[in-house]
Amino acid sequence: MSVEPTVHTPSRAVRRPRGRVFLLTERCKGCRFCVEFCPRHVLAMSDRFNSKGYHVPAVIAEELCTDCKMCELLCPEFAIYVVRLEEER
Protein backbone atom coordinates (compact mmCIF):
# COMPACT_ATOMS: atom_id res chain seq x y z
CA MET A 1 0.00 0.00 0.00
CA SER A 2 1.54 3.31 -1.06
CA VAL A 3 0.99 6.55 0.77
CA GLU A 4 0.75 9.70 -1.30
CA PRO A 5 2.36 12.83 0.14
CA THR A 6 0.03 15.53 1.41
CA VAL A 7 0.07 18.71 -0.64
CA HIS A 8 -0.70 21.90 1.26
CA THR A 9 -2.31 24.62 -0.79
CA PRO A 10 -2.92 28.19 0.29
CA SER A 11 -6.32 28.97 1.72
CA ARG A 12 -8.95 29.94 -0.82
CA ALA A 13 -10.70 32.16 1.70
CA VAL A 14 -9.89 35.37 -0.14
CA ARG A 15 -11.95 38.47 0.50
CA ARG A 16 -14.04 39.37 -2.49
CA PRO A 17 -14.27 42.98 -3.52
CA ARG A 18 -17.50 44.72 -2.59
CA GLY A 19 -19.42 47.35 -4.49
CA ARG A 20 -22.13 49.93 -3.96
CA VAL A 21 -24.80 50.12 -6.66
CA PHE A 22 -26.20 53.48 -7.80
CA LEU A 23 -29.33 53.77 -9.94
CA LEU A 24 -30.19 56.80 -12.04
CA THR A 25 -33.91 56.15 -12.08
CA GLU A 26 -34.82 58.89 -14.55
CA ARG A 27 -32.57 57.32 -17.20
CA CYS A 28 -33.95 53.79 -16.67
CA LYS A 29 -36.33 52.36 -19.29
CA GLY A 30 -37.13 49.18 -17.34
CA CYS A 31 -35.37 46.69 -19.63
CA ARG A 32 -34.54 44.43 -16.64
CA PHE A 33 -31.11 43.48 -17.99
CA CYS A 34 -29.46 44.48 -14.71
CA VAL A 35 -31.87 42.32 -12.72
CA GLU A 36 -31.76 39.27 -15.01
CA PHE A 37 -28.00 39.11 -15.43
CA CYS A 38 -26.76 39.98 -11.94
CA PRO A 39 -24.87 36.87 -10.83
CA ARG A 40 -25.42 37.65 -7.12
CA HIS A 41 -29.12 38.71 -7.32
CA VAL A 42 -28.44 42.15 -5.88
CA LEU A 43 -31.29 43.80 -7.81
CA ALA A 44 -35.01 43.20 -8.25
CA MET A 45 -37.75 45.03 -10.11
CA SER A 46 -39.69 47.33 -7.81
CA ASP A 47 -43.27 48.56 -7.96
CA ARG A 48 -42.04 52.14 -8.41
CA PHE A 49 -42.22 54.10 -11.66
CA ASN A 50 -39.98 56.91 -12.86
CA SER A 51 -41.42 60.11 -14.36
CA LYS A 52 -41.53 58.47 -17.83
CA GLY A 53 -43.70 55.62 -16.55
CA TYR A 54 -41.10 52.84 -16.56
CA HIS A 55 -40.75 50.31 -13.74
CA VAL A 56 -37.35 50.76 -12.15
CA PRO A 57 -35.17 48.23 -10.34
CA ALA A 58 -34.30 48.40 -6.66
CA VAL A 59 -31.21 47.30 -4.80
CA ILE A 60 -32.33 44.52 -2.46
CA ALA A 61 -29.04 42.93 -1.34
CA GLU A 62 -26.17 45.37 -1.75
CA GLU A 63 -24.03 43.39 0.71
CA LEU A 64 -23.81 40.63 -1.94
CA CYS A 65 -22.41 42.93 -4.64
CA THR A 66 -18.90 41.90 -5.73
CA ASP A 67 -18.26 44.86 -8.05
CA CYS A 68 -18.43 42.69 -11.18
CA LYS A 69 -20.07 45.60 -13.03
CA MET A 70 -22.24 43.26 -15.10
CA CYS A 71 -25.24 45.54 -14.55
CA GLU A 72 -23.22 48.55 -15.63
CA LEU A 73 -21.94 46.84 -18.77
CA LEU A 74 -25.37 45.64 -19.90
CA CYS A 75 -27.42 48.78 -19.25
CA PRO A 76 -28.25 50.34 -22.63
CA GLU A 77 -29.23 53.64 -21.00
CA PHE A 78 -26.19 54.00 -18.66
CA ALA A 79 -28.66 54.21 -15.78
CA ILE A 80 -26.68 52.14 -13.28
CA TYR A 81 -23.13 52.13 -12.02
CA VAL A 82 -21.10 50.45 -9.31
CA VAL A 83 -18.39 51.91 -7.11
CA ARG A 84 -15.89 49.59 -5.44
CA LEU A 85 -15.84 49.87 -1.66
CA GLU A 86 -12.56 49.93 0.18
CA GLU A 87 -11.92 46.88 2.35
CA GLU A 88 -12.37 47.44 6.05
CA ARG A 89 -9.69 45.97 8.26
CA distance linking residue 43 with residue 16, whole number of Å: 19
pTM for the full model? Answer: 0.77
In this structure, is residue 38 part of a structural domain? yes
The parent domain of residue 70 ranges over 28-80
Structural domains in the chain (count): 1
CA 77 vs CA 4, 16, 29, 80, 81: distances in Å: 57, 28, 7, 8, 11
Model pLDDT for residues 55-88, shown as the tens digit of each residue:
999 999 999 999 999 999 999 999 999 999 987 6
**Domain CATH for 47:** 3.30.70.20
In this structure, is residue 10 part of a structural domain? no
Structure confidence at residue 11 (pLDDT): 60
Top-confidence residue, 43 or 13: 43
**Phi and psi (nearest 5°) for 18?**
-120, 155
> Which 8-state DSSP code applies to residue 20?
E
Q: Is the pLDDT reported for residue 3 higher than 80? A: no
Beta bridge partners of 49: 55
In this structure, is residue 33 part of a structural domain? yes
Average pLDDT over residues 42-46: 97
The answer to whether 82 and 22 have CB atoms below 8 angstroms apart is yes
Structure confidence at residue 15 (pLDDT): 76
In this structure, is residue 68 part of a structural domain? yes
Mean pLDDT of the chain: 90
